Amino acid sequence: MACAAAGPVELGFAEEAPAWRLRSEQFPSKVGGRPAWLAQGGLPGPAELACGLCGRPLAFLLQLYAPVSPRADAFHRALFVFCCREPPCCAGLRVFRNQLPRKNDFYSYEPPSENPSPESAESVCLQLKSGAHLCRVCGCLGPKTCSRCHQAHYCSKEHQALDWKLGHKQACARSDNLYDTIPDHSFLFPEFEIVIETEDECTPEVLEKEVKSELIGSMDEALEEELDSLAKHESREDKIFQKFKTQIALEPEQVMPQLLNYLKADSLGRSVDWGVLAVFTCADSCHLGTGYTEEFVWKQDVTDAA
């Protein structure tokens, strides 16, 4: 998150929500669970969603609905972030962008209904309108099938083995109700809706005053000349980080590093970890059809030194 003079800052808060609000047709922003894919064709495959370090399947971390209003071809636009959650790796990160015009093959031209059908409120959809099958464990593209029932789909042998141990071994023989027995696997992160709120615009000048005030408050015995001298030698990165800390202090409950606590993944040395995940996308949101375009994600570990 960054505060810029060009516009207000949008903050995300993790909140519990009914399952139907986190389905694809509601265009959600959310963390955890299975991805609510936007375009239902051209999904990234198992090779694209494998950790570049250890090779194991990445877990869905979060998605943000981020349309570009002036752009007809980005009326719907979403970013999907995946991470490796297998210790001691826990460092693989990938992000994909997808966008659609308002008139498309997957969704109604009109806004989604606020009155869900019983089916959409209860069931987990593992077959998209495009015909693509999703992995029972992670909800990503599942090109592999169970050799016995030929109905359960998986992204990898790892997830097939996991599902077999956690219930599919018994359900496999009862293929008539196969899709009624889809567990929320431990591989998935806990699921929350990301509720977006807009914070009043804050200019760099205001932030600079707040940062200076914060520094003075923490160094009551220091002279103003000493502070100015420190500021002259302060690196650009230090100034940016101080602005970042001042900005997030205005709304301490927003989804930033404390997201790890919501995801129950804050065990030092035994789980995923980060300070800031910064996602960089094409400045022009170039339209590349209905497929998913990989963008760049940068992980920064933050140490709050005295």
Q: What is the pLDDT of residues 271-283, one digit of tens each?
A: 677 778 899 999 9
In angstroms, the CA 156 to CA 133 distance is: 13
Specify whether 230 is located in the same domain as 292. no
Specify whether 277 is located in the same domain as 190. yes
Task: Indicate if the pLDDT at residue 148 is higher than 70.
Answer: yes
Specify whether 60 is located in the same domain as 97. yes
Specify whether 187 is located in the same domain as 61. yes
222 band by pLDDT with thresholds 50, 70 and 90:
very low
Task: Indicate if the pLDDT at residue 256 is higher than 80.
Answer: no
Each residue's pLDDT tens digit, 116-138: 766 555 567 888 988 999 999 99
For the chain, how many structural domains are there in total? 2
**pLDDT value at position 227?**
52
Single out the residue of 171, 238, 174 nearest to residue 211, CA to CA. Answer: 238
Segment 36-59 shows an average pLDDT of 94
Name residues whose C-beta falls within 8 Å of residue 274's C-beta, 6 or more positions apart in sequence. Answer: 257, 260, 299, 300, 301
Specify whether 289 is located in the same domain as 235. no
In a domain, 73, yes or no: yes
Specify whether 114 is located in the same domain as 216. no
In a domain, 270, yes or no: yes
**pLDDT value at position 212?**
47
Specify whether 135 is located in the same domain as 218. no
Specify whether 114 is located in the same domain as 14. yes
Task: Indicate if the pLDDT at residue 213 is higher than 50.
Answer: no
In a domain, 205, yes or no: no
Specify whether 221 is located in the same domain as 296. no
**pLDDT value at position 5?**
40
Alpha-carbon distance values, 109 to 32, 46, 120, 142 (Å): 28, 31, 19, 29
Specify whether 111 is located in the same domain as 86. yes
pTM of the model: 0.77
Name residues whose C-beta falls within 8 Å of residue 92's C-beta, 6 or more positions apart in sequence. Answer: 51, 52, 53, 54, 58, 83, 84
Among left, alpha and beta (phi > 0; psi -120 to 50; other), residue 213 is: alpha
In a domain, 1, yes or no: no
Q: Which of 49-53, 181-185, 247-251 has the lowest mean pLDDT?
A: 247-251
Specify whether 222 is located in the same domain as 269. no
Expressed as residue numbers, the domain containing 221 is 212-249
